[in-house]
Amino acid sequence: MKVGIVGLPNVGKSTVFNSLTKSGKAESQNYPFTTIDPNLGVAAVPDERLDALAGALDSRRKVPATVDFVDIAGLVRGASRGEGLGNQFLGHVRECDAVAHVVRCFEDENVIHVHGGVDPTGDAETINTELLLADLGTVERRLERTSKAAKSGDAKLRAEAAALEALRDHLSGGDPARTYPGDDTLEETLRSLITAKPVLYVANVDEESVADGNRYSAEVEKLAAREGAEAVRLSARLESEIAELPESEAREYLEMLGVETAGFEGFVRSAYRLLGLLTFFTAGEKESRAWTVREGATARTAAGSIHSDMERGFIAAEVGDWRDIVAAGSWAKAKEEAKVRLEGRDYPVKDGDTMLVRFNV
Of Mg ion, ligand GDP, none, which one sits near residue 149, judging by CB under 5 to 8 A according to partner kind? Answer: none
Are the C-beta atoms of residues 203 and 220 closer than 8 Å to each other?
A: yes
279 Rama sector, left if φ>0, alpha if ψ -120 to 50, beta otherwise: beta
Q: Taking CB under 6 A as the rule, does residue 15 contact ligand GDP?
A: yes
CB of 210 to ligand GDP, least distance (A): 9
Residue closer to ligand GDP, measured from CB, 100 or 310: 100
CB of 99 to ligand GDP, least distance (A): 14
Residue closer to ligand GDP, measured from CB, 28 or 204: 204
From 12, 24, 46, 176, residue interacting with ligand GDP (rule: CB under 6 A): 12
Name 295's bridge partners: none
Taking alpha carbons only, the member of 162, 146, 198 closest to residue 177 is 198
Q: Taking CB under 6 A as the rule, does residue 41 contact ligand GDP?
A: no
Of ligand GDP, Mg ion, none, which one sits near residue 235, judging by CB under 5 to 8 A according to partner kind? Answer: ligand GDP
Residue 156 to residue 322: CA distance in whole angstroms: 50
Residue 156 to residue 186: CA distance in whole angstroms: 12
Element (H, E) at 246: none
Binding mask 181-220 for ligand GDP (x = CB under 6 A): -----------------------x-x--------------
Are the C-beta atoms of residues 295 and 79 closer than 8 Å to each other?
A: no
Q: Taking CB under 5 A as the rule, does residue 14 contact Mg ion?
A: yes
Rg (CA), the chain: 23
Of Mg ion, ligand GDP, none, which one sits near residue 12, judging by CB under 5 to 8 A according to partner kind? Answer: ligand GDP
From 3, 133, 190, 236, residue interacting with ligand GDP (rule: CB under 6 A): 236
Measured on CA atoms in the order 271, 47, 222, 86, is the torsion positive or negative? negative
What residues contact residue 153 under an 8 Å CB cut-off, 6+ apart?
none
Looking at 6-14, 33-41, 246-254, 348-356, which segment touches ligand GDP (CB under 6 A)?
Answer: 6-14
Residue closer to ligand GDP, measured from CB, 41 or 64: 41
Other CB atoms within a 10 A radius of the CB of residue 254 amount to 19
Are the C-beta atoms of residues 138 and 192 closer than 8 Å to each other?
A: yes
Between residue 258 and residue 277, which ones bind ligand GDP under the rule CB under 6 A?
A: none
Q: Taking CB under 6 A as the rule, does residue 108 contact ligand GDP?
A: yes
Helix (H, G, I), strand (E, B) or coil at 288: strand
For residue 178, give the amino acid letter. Answer: R
From 13, 49, 92, 233, residue interacting with ligand GDP (rule: CB under 6 A): 13
CB of 85 to ligand GDP, least distance (A): 14
Taking alpha carbons only, the member of 180, 91, 90, 88 closest to residue 127 is 90
Task: By CB under 5 A, name the binding residues for Mg ion.
Answer: 13-14, 73
- List contacts with ligand GDP (CB under 6 A): 7, 9-15, 106, 108, 111, 204, 206, 235-237
